[in-house]
Amino acid sequence: QVQLVESGGGLVQPGGSLRLSCAASGFTLDYYTIGWFRQAPGKEREGVSCMTNTDGTTYYIDSVKGRFTISRDNAKNTVYLQMNSLKPEDTAHYYCRTLSPAFMCAWGVLTPAEGGSWGQGTQVTVSS
């Protein structure tokens, strides 16, 4: 079964850290550009970060630059999102998806690939 499974979310205090994982099954992740998205209650889903499969180019939205780091471990077929210095406004449900067209990631355009679907995601709650 082809799917992406997110994990690693939780409750953390402001200033804390979490590492989200996006594990692929049924396909080889290193052939794909991957994006992380999030959706907070009452808000539209937004693209947060992405990494191309070709040269590892990354993109981050302004609000997470310098705090979040996307990486991939092709041996583990997994993409990660390291989140440091978390803020209450980072509270959201986080999802990963393959992106298409992949090259648009470098320009900050995160378009989920057709044929894919949103998984369960993982909840991140930043609160004291």
Q: Tens of pLDDT along 58-93?
A: 999 999 999 999 999 999 999 999 999 999 999 999
pLDDT at 41: 92
Which residue, 39, 50, 19, is CA-closest to 93? 39
- What is the rounded distance in angstroms from the CA atom of residue 114 to the CA atom of residue 58? 21
Query: What H or E segment, with its residue span, contains residue 122?
Result: strand 122-126
Asked if residue 39 has pLDDT above 90, the reply is yes
Name the band, by pLDDT with cuts 50, 70 and 90, for residue 127: very high
- What is the rounded distance in angstroms from the CA atom of residue 122 to the CA atom of residue 115? 21
CB 121 within 8 A of CB 3: no
pLDDT at 115: 84
Average pLDDT over residues 114-128: 93
* Residue keyed to tokens 């939205």: 61
Higher pLDDT, 85 or 114: 85
Name the band, by pLDDT with cuts 50, 70 and 90, for residue 1: confident
What Cα–Cα distance (Å) separates residue 79 from each residue in 13, 21, 27, 128?
Answer: 24, 6, 13, 28
Name the band, by pLDDT with cuts 50, 70 and 90, for residue 106: very high
What is the CB neighbour count within 10 angstroms for residue 112?
A: 18
- What is the rounded distance in angstroms from the CA atom of residue 32 to the CA atom of residue 44? 25
Mean pLDDT of the residues in the chain: 95
Which residues are CB-neighbours of 15 under 8 A, at least 6 positions away?
A: 85, 86
